[in-house]
Amino acid sequence: MTHRLVVVGDTLLDRDVDGMVTRLCPDVPVPVLEEATTLDRPGGAGLAALFAARQGFDVALVTALADDDGGARLRELLADAGIDVHVLPLPGATAEKIRLRARGQVLLRLDRGGAAGRPGEPPPAARAALAGAAAILVSDYGRGVAAAPAVRAALARTSAPVVWDPHPRGPRAAPGVRLVTPNENEVRQLTGDGPDGSRLATASRGAQELRRRWRAGAVAVTMGGDGALLCHSGPTPLVVPAPANADGDTCGAGDLFAATATGALAQGALVSEAVQDAVREATEYVAAGGVGAALVPGPGSGAAVRAAYRRPTGTAVYGDRPAGAGPRHTGDDGAGAPPHRPDGADGHSVAAGALVADVRARGGTVVATGGCFDLLHAGHVATLQAARRLGDCLVVCLNSDASVAGLKGPERPVVPQGDRSRLLAALGCVDAVVIFDEATPHAVLSWLRPDVWVKGGDYAGGGGDEPDLPEAALVRRWGGQTVVVPYLDGRSTTGMIAAARSGAGQPAEEAR
């Protein structure tokens, strides 16, 4: 069954003019671009609709188009893509955004069309499309479609999940939307909240405030190459790191993020799953060259176009330490474990402390996570790699053998603390390991005072009132932020032990 997605919003005409610069203008010292190629494409809501269509969805677009050459060109491009367009009349001229580029670099952007006119009434077919949608994406570019009373009334009546991609000049989201997808700058403008504390703390605070004001189910703040931060009604945000480092043309990445999340919700995904899908797709898109690589001129199958921004085989799902990070302090002298207590006399405790002090002196972000890490598995590694990407160093707080036995029972741990610490320290994403004897990491956290405390979890509640993590209140005392990162389903130490004892080949899917 093909799901019908409806995209609502302002459509622009985007034009890329590519050429070569070989000289400066003799009149003024500016580069002269010798035009080689020109490529037109739908922008704004039109680009989001194009992405959804090329992902295999049946797509309708409710938008406003002017009666001019630009509007005619947009109608042609959207019809070629197989998109069902429902047009609100638009006075004035079509908005155009023209990028002048040389060797893939934007030299200048020229905007045409002037101030937005007030769109007219949507036709009956547009209202019918909204009423029959499996999911709706509002792609607001601040030019009036999302503010149209008839459009907002239709959105208020729908039972389909609604994703709202906002604009600072646009209206509030309709109450009850499933997901709002601002970027970091947009969420600050929409809430009036300036940077205060770490980047994650600022994004989390803004997302929670926007969710409260707009009565939205969830807010996912996109953070460029660092992924996205998702806030539900629970107190602890989910951070979804980008699956790889991607440098390139980011034009359209936010539209693809929103379109992918909408498509996932149309197929019954949880919001957390939809955001993970969206981060992955947007990262692959940028890594493959952005809009120029993804949107091949002319009609084509969705599968063929999607292949243009698929990650090359062999690329790591989560990269190791970012380039330029400081030296590692593993706390491993080749003979034994790191110190049992952070305030002990062992020199490796001093090394971990020196690492934290060095990172802070450079203005960096200290990240910490904790756990037993008995029988290290792929789920642990995914969590650790995701955590490392949130800052400039990662310190692992490791439960000692006595602590594990007290929590898990006398048959645990399977692997002694010395081996567990050395295995962790050998990972490229781990900068230091500190062992603690207590049942909780509160004492070691008070010593480290990390900027970010990370826990792995599936966030399966999908937006319910999940309880605060036990360490969150402590971390907030020094202005730190507690976050959850996704972990791989079906990986657990308890499951591995049970499978080994029963002779089964696959680990059981149960909590670690």
Q: Which of 255, 374, 431, 451 is catalytic?
A: 255
DSSP assignment of 303-320: HHHHHTTPPPTT--SS-S
Backbone angles phi, psi at 53, to 5 degrees: -65, -40
Q: How far is 135 from 2, CA to CA, in rounded Å? A: 12
Parallel, antiparallel, or unpaired: how do β-strands 31-44 and 11-24 relate? antiparallel
Backbone angles phi, psi at 352, to 5 degrees: -65, -40
DSSP assignment of 222-281: E-GGG-EEEE-SSSS-EEE--SS---S--TTHHHHHHHHHHHHHHTT--HHHHHHHHHHH
DSSP assignment of 439-453: SSSHHHHHHH--SEE
Question: Are the CB atoms for 228 and 253 separated by under 8 Å?
Answer: no
Q: Which helix (H) or strand (E) holds 404?
A: helix 401-408
Give CB contacts under 8 A, 24+ apart, made by 468-472: 468/234, 468/235, 468/236, 469/236, 470/440, 471/440, 471/441, 471/442, 471/445, 472/235, 472/236
Q: Is the dihedral of CA 347, 349, 353, 359 positive or negative?
A: positive
Closest CA to 214 of 228, 194, 201, 231: 231
Q: How far is 255 from 286, CA to CA, in rounded Å? A: 12
Catalytic site includes residue 346: no
Question: Are the CB atoms for 90 and 120 separated by under 8 Å?
Answer: yes
110 forms beta bridges with 98
Single-letter amino acid code for the residue at 124: P
Q: Which two tokens stand for residue 197?
A: 């504390």
Question: Are the CB atoms for 331 and 421 separated by under 8 Å?
Answer: yes
Q: How far is 286 from 284, CA to CA, in rounded Å? A: 6
How far CA 296 is from CA of 81, 105, 312, in Å, comes to: 11, 19, 18
Instruction: Please calculate the CA angle 355-358-360 and round it to the nearest 5 degrees.
Output: 110
Question: Are the CB atoms for 163 and 181 separated by under 8 Å?
Answer: yes
91 forms beta bridges with none
The distance of Cα 267 from the centroid of its chain, to the nearest Å, equals: 19
Which residues carry out catalysis? 255
